[in-house]
Amino acid sequence: MLQKADCLLIDGSVWQDDELQAAGVGRNTGRDMGHLALGDEHGMMALLASLPAKRKILIHINNTNPILNEQSPQRQALTQQGIEVSWDGMAITLQDTAC
């Protein structure tokens, strides 16, 4: 299904699996909570790189995630891969090109 999508809205909760633990704000890992870390070797960023979607937009981003800082190396890595980071109030226009 992901292979056929033009626009993907994907969970971007954590950059690294132990992010909440490292920040001292939680005991669970991202994986414990059902989230695939973006920056892990086989994480969400690697998965998104393999998909042909025109737009790849991360949603549901935890406040400990360094991608919220537009100047961070993590954010720059996403930008280089063509992956967007959503923001409050972001509007996405979808068009039906099947007709």
Distance CA 76, CA 95 (A): 28
pLDDT band for position 98 (cuts 50, 70, 90): low
Domain ranges of the chain: 2-85
Are the CB atoms for 45 and 66 separated by under 8 Å?
no
Task: Give CA separation, 46 vs 32, 49, 84, 90, in Å.
Answer: 20, 5, 14, 24
pLDDT, one tens digit per residue, over 47-85 is 999 999 999 999 999 999 999 999 999 999 999 999 999
Are the CB atoms for 65 and 59 separated by under 8 Å?
no
